[in-house]
Amino acid sequence: MGTNFIGTGLGGTPAPGTSWTTIDLASGTEGNTGVKGSNTSLGETSTIEAAQVHGYPDAGLDAWWNLTNIGAKPSGSSTLLLRLSFTTGPTTTPNSNACMLVYVSPSAGMVNTEGYTGGFIRGPAGVDKPSNCNLMGSGSSPSGDTLATEPCVANVMVTWSGSTARYITSHVYDDGTATGENAQATNSGGSFTDIYIGICVGQQNATPSALVKWEGVVLEYQWV
C-alpha cells in the first residue's frame, strides 16, 4: 500500500492532528448532467459513470460537474488537501480519454481558467492512468504509470495566497507500485471567497463508444 503526502494510506487513519471530511455528492450542485450515466449513484460513497455523450473539461466546458461549497478558507490555513479514491475502476475501453477528476473552483460552475482539476484517466488502450493537473478549460491527459492494482487514490493539494489559488499538485497511486506525480504552477483565475470542491467527469471523443464507470468512489478533504 502506498502512502500519501501526509502519512496515511488509502482508507487509513489520518495522521495525528488531522481529520478528513467526506463529501456527500448527493447534496452537490450539478451541471452538464447529460454527461452523467444512468448507472450513477451519488452519496458519501458513489458509483460514477460517464455516459456515451461527449463532454470534457477543455475549452468547451461541457463535462459533468458536481460541486459542494465548503465555505471560506479558514484563518491560518493556506493548503487544501483532497483525496479522491475508487475501489473498482472501469472495465470498458473508450475510444478516447475518459476522466474522473477532483475539481476545485471559486464558483458553482465552469469558467475557463478558473479552478483546478487532477485525478484519473481511462484511455483508449483500456488502461487507467493518473491525469495531469490543469486549470479548468485545459482538458485532461494521462501522465504517469498504468494503475493496475485496485483500489486507487488521487491525493491533490491546492495552495492559496489570500483568496488567490496559486498552485496544484497531485500524487496518484494504486495498491501496488504504480504512481504519478503532476503539478500546475499557474495561478487560477477567480476570487476564492468561497471554495467549491467536487468532481468533474466526461469523455473526450465526439461520439463515445462505451460507458465508463468507477465504483466505490469517495472524495474527502481537510485544511492544513
How many Å is the maximal CA-CA distance in the chain?
A: 48
**Mean pLDDT within 152-176:** 94
Strand 196-203, strand 98-105: pairing: antiparallel
In the DSSP assignment, the letter for residue 88 is B
pLDDT tens-digit profile of 108-149? 999 999 999 999 999 999 999 999 999 999 999 999 999 999
Angle at 9 between CA 180 and CA 222, to 5 degrees: 90
Output the pTM of the full model.
Answer: 0.92
Q: For residue 63, how far is the Cα from the chain centroid?
A: 12
* 3-state secondary structure labels for all residues of 131-185: ECCEECCCCCCECCCCCCCCCEEEEEEEEEECCEEEEEEEEEECCCCCEEEEEEC
Residue 198's contacts (CB-CB under 8 Å, 6 or more residues apart) are 23, 25, 28, 65, 66, 67, 68, 102, 103, 105, 219
Residue 9, pLDDT > 70, answer no
**Block residue for cell numbers 487514490:** 153
- The domains of the chain, with CATH numbers, are 28-216 (2.60.120.200)
pLDDT bin (cut points 50, 70, 90) of residue 4 is very low
Q: Which pLDDT does position 18 carry in this prediction?
A: 62
pLDDT bin (cut points 50, 70, 90) of residue 163 is confident
Amino acid at 19: S
Which triple of cell numbers denotes residue 101?
477528476
